[in-house]
Structure 1
Amino acid sequence: MSMSKRWLRLRLAISFFSRLPVGDLGICPDEDFGRSFGYLPAVALILGGVLALAAWLLGMLLPPLVWALLILAYEIYLSGGTLLDGFMDTMDGIFSGRSPERILTIMRDSRVGAHAVVAVVLLLMVKGAALFVLCSPESGGAVHGTLSPSGAAPEVPSIAGWSPLMGWYELTAQAPLYLTLLWMPLVGRWAVILGMCRFPYARERGMASLFHQYLDRRMLPWATLVVLLVTGFLAGVMGMLVFAVIALLMLRMGQTLTGQLGGLTGDIYGAMAELSEVMVLLGVLMLQKAVG
């Protein structure tokens, strides 16, 4: 495959899975759009880098509470809100207590129900609270309010600060928020890959149907390897442990909903991603408390 074709598919993936600008794409063949799904791990890494950079800049200007909430808002904006929308539709459907056919109909409905509202409020509260704790000095961060005590920007980790157990998190002078933002989107998008590669699609047509048409299921082991390498480098053995627990829970979720609905949908992929991201944040907090 030519480099121009790879570049086009990467841009297609960025344009579909984020709001990052990619320029004019023109009219692209269905195959290129369908196969752009294979670049989702790369998109996740880009999003993680952009989020970490935004957090670093905001941390020099704002107090932690405002800082954390703005990061949460920016993360939702960057993803286009599609994952959150899928989470809400999924909660409306699976908590409705209806038949499988009715659940799928409810999930397709653009109207928002009470289950979705309650679920998304709880999700955002937990996510915002976790981000706040991760950017506070008590969690090991160097930034509180505006600049660090020395008046300089937060320092960049050095090689000497890395450990096999906790990766860069052992470097207590660093705000763990930056590190977590780097790999949180990757784990969330990995959950989407898991759902698409491991379980059948519950609809004949839908937004994800074109991805399924050109899906290469060998993508899952490669994506898993990328996640393990990145989490191992950034968060050490503890990070890989968090990922392993999330993987088991997402497998269980996929199996349960497949048994109930006959497969998964694009909305469920979004729900899996959002839940995985929350579990990354909670996992980091629990591990820090355990080893601290």
Structure 2
Amino acid sequence: MIKFINDFFNTATFLTRLPLPVIYPARLRVSFFPLVGILLGLITYLLALTLQFFFPIKIAAVLILIIYIFLTGGLHLDGFGDFLDGFFANRAQKETIAIMHDSNTGIFAVVGLILLLLLKFLLFEQLILQGKLEILLIMPVLARFVLTLMVARAKVAAESIMAAALHKNFTAKELRLSLIITIIFLVIFVLTFSYFLIELFFLAVALSLSLLLVYLLEKWAVKKAGGITGDIYGTLVELSELLILFTALMT
């Protein structure tokens, strides 16, 4: 049990800024990604519930966004920006990889990140207006679950050390554990918030769209970069979160 908790803490410190005590050596377990999503969701949801009572809606939405970015350390935003610079530069495969590894930020990243953050702000605002803050619980869990699926199945680019390391250590057992954690959470979520029919349909649509995104990103990554990189993982998380928010507000 101690090793289980220690590995979880290690995985959480990789994906977040949470100052958790880790005893090394410790494993980075992809199967714990949804579990980290649960932790992120709980913290964000509880803080959002509090903020909406003390601040005007727009300010509360901005603060929720700031808190979420701080908790994740902007890890996935950084990957999304690198992805935009590399994939939209219209260069050959090697040049695409080089651009993504470049520490300088290009125009595609700047514009894309501004639009992404603006969209998230507006979506968080709508969650408050529609009384659907509980979506903040499920958003990070589903996004990180589909990330485990990409790690499990996608071809990794030769130049991506991080993506290769995650994929190499991933097993069928890890995938099963990730699936079990996600299913248990979804059941608890549905029962806690009395989600039925239309809400269950939202969950199914959100997950289906995210899985489609995994497929499309993988195909594009193989064509443009020779396979998946760590930046593609970050892009998947950011875009999946947007899809989940959009789908939730449509129901």
Counterpart of 1:176 (choices 99, 122, 132) is: 132
Give the drift of 1:183: 0.5
TM-score with structure 1 setting the length? 0.77
Q: Is the 8 A contact 1:191 1:269 kept in 2?
A: no
Counterparts of 2:83 and 2:124, CA distance in 1: 24
Counterparts of 1:46 and 1:87, CA distance in 2: 22
- 1:211 is the counterpart of 2:184: no
- 1:16 is the counterpart of 2:9: no
SS of aligned partner of 2:24: coil
Question: Relative to structure 1, is the Cα distance of residues 93 and 267 closer, same or farther in structure 2, using a 3 angstrom cutoff?
Answer: same
Give the drift of 1:225: 5.4
Identity %, equivalent residues = 31
Q: Is the 8 A contact 2:30 2:174 kept in 1?
A: no
Which letter does structure 2 place at the counterpart of 1:214?
Answer: N
Unpaired segments of 5 or more residues in structure 1?
140-174, 288-292
TM-score with structure 2 setting the length? 0.89
Give the drift of 1:244: 1.3
Counterparts of 1:72 and 1:111, CA distance in 2: 24
SS of aligned partner of 2:54: coil
Provide the residue aligned with 1:123 in structure 2.
Answer: 116
Alignment of 1:107-118 (within 5 A): 107-118=100-111
SS of aligned partner of 1:201: coil
Counterparts of 1:236 and 1:91, CA distance in 2: 33
Question: Relative to structure 1, is the Cα distance of residues 251 and 221 closer, same or farther in structure 2, using a 3 angstrom cutoff?
Answer: farther
Of Structure 1 and Structure 2, which has the larger fraction of its residues in helix?
2
Provide the residue aligned with 1:66 in structure 2.
Answer: 59
Q: How many correspondences in the alignment?
A: 242
Which letter does structure 1 place at the counterpart of 2:138?
Answer: W
Divergent runs of 4+, >6 A:
none
- 1:283 is the counterpart of 2:238: no
Give the drift of 1:26: 4.4
Question: Relative to structure 1, is the Cα distance of residues 205 and 272 closer, same or farther in structure 2, using a 3 angstrom cutoff?
Answer: closer
Unpaired segments of 5 or more residues in structure 2?
none
Alignment of 1:1-292 (within 5 A): 3-23=1-21, 25-28=22-25, 32-34=26-28, 36-136=29-129, 139=130, 175-177=131-133, 179-220=134-175, 222-224=177-179, 226-227=181-182, 230-231=185-186, 233=190, 235-287=199-251
Give the drift of 1:59: 1.3
Which letter does structure 2 place at the counterpart of 1:282?
Answer: F
Counterparts of 1:230 and 1:17, CA distance in 2: 19
Which letter does structure 2 place at the counterpart of 1:33?
Answer: R
Counterparts of 1:61 and 1:280, CA distance in 2: 27
- Please tell me the root mean square deviation across aligned C-alpha atoms, in Å: 1.9
